[in-house]
Amino acid sequence: MQMVPKCSACNSAISGHRLAEIATAVFTKENVDGWTEFLEHARGRQWADLRRFQEFKGDRDDLVAIVLACDEGGSLIVVRSVFELFSADELVVLNAITPNDVGTLRTLIASDHWHRIDD
């Protein structure tokens, strides 16, 4: 994950951290209310509400919320995943989260959906 080289909580390289996708939402003009709510839940750390967003369309721009976890908490990362082949994805939110946040997220996200980041 090149756009986030360090964890917001521990300020270390992300190698050795755990990563899981929390939620996805289609990012279109027709879905302004949906992705606005998505961002409000993400910024407000309303994890259960955010987790309900699970819509992804490969032929559209999407918002993807990811958690990066370490012993000190971790990072909430929201990326606008751009459909157009030659356009770069855009970092929308990068916030430190607490160990309590990570604990809550581990109850909401199945253990087999967490992946270790290796060099």
Q: What is the pLDDT of residues 63-114, one digit of tens each?
A: 999 999 999 999 999 999 888 878 888 999 999 999 999 999 999 999 999 9
**Domain range for 55:** 18-107
Q: Is residue 5 part of a domain?
A: no
First to last CA, the chain: 11
Q: How far is CA 78 from CA 32, 35, 64, 81, 90, in A?
A: 16, 11, 5, 9, 9
Interval 37-41 mean pLDDT: 95
- Is 79 a member of any domain? yes
**Is this prediction's pTM over 0.75?**
yes
Beta bridge partners of 81: 62
Please check whether residue 116 lies inside any domain of the structure: no
